[in-house]
C-alpha cells in the first residue's frame, strides 16, 4: 500500500521522508488547501529519491480557472517536468461544479509522460458516478477524494461505493483528515491501494513575537509531524501485510 504525504515546506518534506512516506504530494500553502509550490522547492524535492507529485493549482479558492490561469498551470507542469518530478496533481471545475473535461483533457495532454492524480475538485461535483467515469475516460490513474465530505472518515460509505463502481479501473485514494487514530476504520471498510494524509500538527510559536503580531505566523500554521507519519506508516504496513488490500 502506498502512503502519500502532502507537504508544503522543506522541513515537512524531510519529516515525511524520514517517517516512511512512499510518495510525496508537493504543495505550498496547505492552510489554503494547497497551491503550486516554487520551482526551487520542486528541484529540492527531486533530490530525496521518492516519487513526488506536485500540486498544479495557481491559487486558492474554487477550481474554476480562466484561460490565463490554465496557461499558468501548463507552465507549472513544464516546471515539474524540468525539475525531474514524477507526477502532477490536477483538477478543474465548471461553474456548476462538474469537471471541466475540456481543460482537464488539455492539461492531461500537456502532462503526457507524467503520473497524474485528479485532486479534490472531484469532491465538489454534483454527480460523483458521472465524474468517476469521466476521470477514467480521461486516463487518470487515481482520484484523491474524501467522498465529498469534510473528512475521509465522514465520507467512508461514499468512498466504498466509488471503489466498488471503479472495480479496479482507477484507484480511489482516500484523503482529508486521515490520522493514525482513525485510519484503521477506513482501511477496514474497503480495499485500499493508496492513501493520502498530511500528518500535520500546530508547531509551537510565540504569540508575542513581532512575526506573530504582524500576522506572519500564528496558530493557523501547521507542520508535518514525523512521528505521526511513522505511526501511520506502521498501521498501513501492518494492514497490507495482513492481506487486506487489493
Percent of the chain surpassing pLDDT 70? 96
Percent of the chain surpassing pLDDT 90? 86
pLDDT at 209: 81
Fold of 2-241: TIM Barrel (3.20.20)
**Quick one: 22 exposed, middle or buried, by C-beta within 10 A (0-12, 13-18, 19+)?**
middle
pLDDT, average across residues 11-19: 98
pLDDT at 241: 78
pLDDT at 245: 43
**CA–CA distance, 107 with 98 (Å, rounded to integer):** 16
Which three three-digit cell numbers place residue 43?
Answer: 528541484
pLDDT at 246: 39
Q: Does residue 206 register a pLDDT over 90?
A: no
Give the residue, 31 or 43, on which the prediction is more confident.
43
Amino acid at each position: 500500500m502506498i502512503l502519500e504525504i502532502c507537504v508544503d515546506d522543506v522541513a515537512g518534506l524531510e519529516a515525511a521522508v524520514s517517517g516512511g512516506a512512499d510518495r510525496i504530494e508537493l504543495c505550498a500553502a496547505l492552510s489554503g488547501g494547497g497551491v503550486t509550490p516554487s520551482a526551487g522547492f520542486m528541484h529540492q524535492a527531486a533530490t530525496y529519491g521518492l516519487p513526488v507529485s506536485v500540486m498544479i493549482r495557481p491559487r486558492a479558492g474554487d477550481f474554476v480557472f480562466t484561460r490565463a490561469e490554465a496557461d499558468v498551470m501548463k507552465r507549472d507542469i513544464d516546471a515539474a517536468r524540468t525539475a525531474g518530478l514524477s507526477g502532477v496533481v490536477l483538477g478543474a471545475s465548471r461553474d456548476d461544479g462538474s469537471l471541466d473535461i475540456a481543460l482537464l483533457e488539455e492539461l492531461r495532454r500537456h502532462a503526457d509522460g507524467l503520473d497524474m492524480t485528479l485532486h479534490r475538485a472531484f469532491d465538489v461535483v454534483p454527480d460523483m458516478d458521472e465524474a468517476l467515469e469521466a476521470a477514467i475516460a480521461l486516463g487518470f490513474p487515481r482520484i484523491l477524494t474524501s467522498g465529498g465530505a469534510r473528512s475521509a472518515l465522514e465520507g467512508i460509505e461514499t468512498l466504498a461505493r466509488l471503489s466498488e463502481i471503479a472495480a479496479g479501473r482507477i484507484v480511489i485514494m482516500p484523503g482529508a483528515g486521515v490520522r493514525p487514530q482513525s485510519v484503521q476504520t477506513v482501511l477496514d471498510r474497503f480495499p485500499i491501494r493508496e492513501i493520502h494524509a498530511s500528518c500535520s500538527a500546530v508547531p509551537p510559536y510565540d504569540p508575542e513575537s513581532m512575526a506573530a503580531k504582524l500576522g506572519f505566523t500564528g496558530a493557523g500554521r501547521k507542520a508535518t509531524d514525523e512521528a505521526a507519519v511513522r505511526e501511520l506508516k506502521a498501521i498501513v504496513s501492518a494492514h497490507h501485510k495482513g492481506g487486506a488490500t487489493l
